[in-house]
Amino acid sequence: MAEFFIELFSEEIPARMQAGASGHLEAICTQALQKLGVKVEQTYYGPRRIALKADVAAEVPASTISERGPRASAPEQALAGFLRKHGAEKADLTQEGDFWVLNKQNPSQPAKDFIAAVLPEALAKLPWPKSMRWGTAGEFTWVRPLRRVVCLLDGEVIPFTLGPVTAGNETEGHRVLGPGAVAVSSAAVWEETLRERRVIAAQGERKAKIAAGMAEKAAALNLTVAPDEALLDEVTGLVEWPVPLIGKIDDAFMGLPHEVRELSMKINQKYFALRDASGKPAPYFAFAANLEAEDGGAAIVAGNERVLRARLSDARHFWELDLKTPLDQLLPKLEKITFHAKIGTQRARADRIAALAGDIAGLLGGTPEQVGQAAEAGLLAKADLVTGMVGEFPELQGIMGGYYAARTRGAAVGGAISTHYQPKGPSDDVPTGVVAVSVALADKLDTLREFFRIGEKPTGSGDPYALRRCALGVIRIVLENGLRLGLKALIGGDEELFGFIVERLRVKLRGEGKRFDVLDAVLAAGADDDLVRLMKRVDALGEMLATEDGKSLHAAYKRAANILRIEDAKDGPHEGLKVEGELPLPEENAFRDRLDAVQSEAAGLLAAEDFTAAMQALASLRGVVDAFFEKVTVNAELPELRLNRLRLLARFRGTVNQIADFSRVEG
């Protein structure tokens, strides 16, 4: 095998595009060079380059093509296309019957020639979210002006042209610390040469150096870096030679809400927040410079502190300006903001959320004060959309409303507003407490209810209004808080919407590695819309089915159901009919007696929500049902006996079905 190496060197590539471009480069090389048995060993990406190292065969092996082509009467264009596809000429064809047939011997081809022939066209199609043309590029486009291409096979240059650039063996180091062209002869030499010229080529190494360096400098101040994986990935894509540094935040800005301060630092400056030993925000920030300075970075730190002062001064201006206007005085402005053309304004939405939040708080047993607080928080939850701070930082909606409301409306109302968008993702906490839970649920249920009302439902992978996430938020809030609510009443009895929520519950269970077929079995048995009760029942049934008794009972149920399916077609149904007279065998009498007991016992246990005991009662049927199938012939010769035994099986199926429809349970 030979080492294949390629580097595409350009002006600065946006950090958010680098990983995707690296993936596309790998896919392109894998596809284009598949005849060489390509095996990608490593990929690289950074601010000004994407690169790849792979093992390839030294040559494309000889091959024979034998393929039937177009009909002899086909248009000349069809024949030309067939020849072009196979790199053949008309002399390579023979006519067999009504068709042209290609029989061509392809000799082996050196890998260098093959790569030069196929790779440029493939690379030119590398997709970028945004691309550009420039001076000498002609029609060729790239994310930023392409400056150099290194393409080597065991150290030998593979000459080809990509846009305005001819492939060679020269790369460039750090723009300031290692400028100018330098020749390389392999991936290892390339990586080491770049390191000497102050570029760390491997993105994983750069990321680790940034994280470890900031952590070390923070530890020297008895501080820690607030974790932010997304920001760390972004910064890794911004620097080639990371130099972690720590700056100071003026005390005058520490009175700002920490979310405001830290979001401004992150969005505008790519700074990391620091925490003290108690986990509280510290008056420092960490960042990664792209330059080693002779003064140890003092001037760089001072410059970044100066820029941050200006940014935080703007944030403080918005904060102080917003505080002058109570949230309730902003409600008229919501009348001018359309939430959705078919749904109405944000003010109409606020009124609906307020009413629903109050209703939910009452259903949860809230005090009159809590009901009032929930309604008030629901009404004001969207008011911060028209504040200066949220206009500057849309990511702070809800959070800022919580701060503003807490100053004039109290902690309960402010807290409910600040958390009403939660959970925003699978790792996000859910709101707790009657007031906060009521507002968060009202917000999500109103969104679901209204979009389903106007027919804007998710289809396939499309979900422009994030309704799936909204439904999952409802499920998590209800289950993690143990809320005893009937969902159907809260969504206006919309069965389709309830089915959508249940489907998200199935997806949640599947993602957690749990049995969603058990959920289907319980729902089919007529379980209600109280999700807490539903999941208790599901968990109890799942535990029972995992036992030997449960597995055996499930098998017996399927056997009974299969018999009844066949016999019901003849003279059924047999469900609900009384077993007449005496049964001759002790096994069938024992089966009937135990069914009587379990039917009564299970009904009481289900009503008392003692689902574990109900499942245990059901599992107790195992012995008698096994004995029944072992000793009793259901299709007896005597018609009366056959009917009694079928009715007994139908009672067994019905007894099980009052707890769960076992036909929905997978084997």
Exposed/middle/buried for residue 517 (C-beta within 10 Å: 0-12, 13-18, 19+):
middle
Spatial contact of 167 and 160, defined as CB atoms under 8 Å apart: yes
**What single DSSP character describes residue 664?**
G
- How far is it, in rounded angstroms, from Cα 211 to Cα 379? 43
Q: What is the three-state SS of 89-157?
A: CHHHEEEECCEEEEEEEECCEEHHHHHHHHHHHHHHCCCCCCCECCCCCCCCCECCCEEEEEEEECCEE
- How far is it, in rounded angstroms, from Cα 130 to Cα 16? 11
Rg of the chain on CA atoms, in Å: 35
**What single DSSP character describes residue 268?**
I
The closest of 146, 129, 128 to 137, measured between CA atoms, is 146
- How far is it, in rounded angstroms, from Cα 401 to Cα 418? 6
Q: State both tokens at 20.
A: 């995707």
The closest of 428, 426, 401 to 416, measured between CA atoms, is 401
pLDDT in tens, 117-131: 999 999 999 999 999
Q: What is the pLDDT of residue 612?
A: 92
Spatial contact of 618 and 653, defined as CB atoms under 8 Å apart: no
Q: What is the pLDDT of residue 73?
A: 83
- How far is it, in rounded angstroms, from Cα 290 to Cα 199? 10
Q: What is the pLDDT of residue 136?
A: 83
Alpha helices in 454-529 (DSSP H): 467-481, 487-490, 495-511, 516-524
Q: Is the pTM of this model over 0.95?
A: no
Spatial contact of 478 and 534, defined as CB atoms under 8 Å apart: no
| 426: amino acid identity, one letter | P
Distance of CA 470 to the CA centre of its chain: 14
Distances from the Cα of 438 to the Cα of 14, 29, 185, 411, 554, angstroms:
42, 54, 66, 15, 40
Q: What is the pLDDT of residue 351?
A: 97
Q: Give the other-Cβ count within 10 Å of 443's Cβ.
A: 26
Q: Three-state SS for 337?
A: coil
Query: What is the rounded (10 degree) CA torsion for 518, 521, 523, 527?
Result: -90
Q: State both tokens at 411.
A: 């902690």
Q: What is the pLDDT of residue 69?
A: 85
Alpha helices in 393-466 (DSSP H): 399-409, 411-418, 434-453
Q: State both tokens at 665.
A: 């349970």
Q: State both tokens at 456.
A: 């804007």
Spatial contact of 11 and 147, defined as CB atoms under 8 Å apart: yes
Spatial contact of 380 and 401, defined as CB atoms under 8 Å apart: yes
Q: What is the pLDDT of residue 393?
A: 94
- How far is it, in rounded angstroms, from Cα 651 to Cα 580? 13
Q: Which residues of the chain have pLDDT under 70?
A: 667
**What single DSSP character describes residue 578?**
P
Distances from the Cα of 494 to the Cα of 56, 349, 487, 533, angstroms:
60, 19, 10, 20
Q: Three-state SS for 239?
A: coil
The closest of 405, 470, 479, 476 to 443, measured between CA atoms, is 470
Q: Give the other-Cβ count within 10 Å of 302's Cβ.
A: 13
- How far is it, in rounded angstroms, from Cα 481 to Cα 483? 5
The closest of 171, 225, 179 to 198, measured between CA atoms, is 179
Torsional class of 612: left (φ above 0), alpha (ψ -120 to 50), beta (otherwise): alpha
Question: What does residue 378 show for φ and ψ, rounded to 5 degrees?
Answer: -60, -40
Helix (H) or strand (E) holding 287: strand 281-289
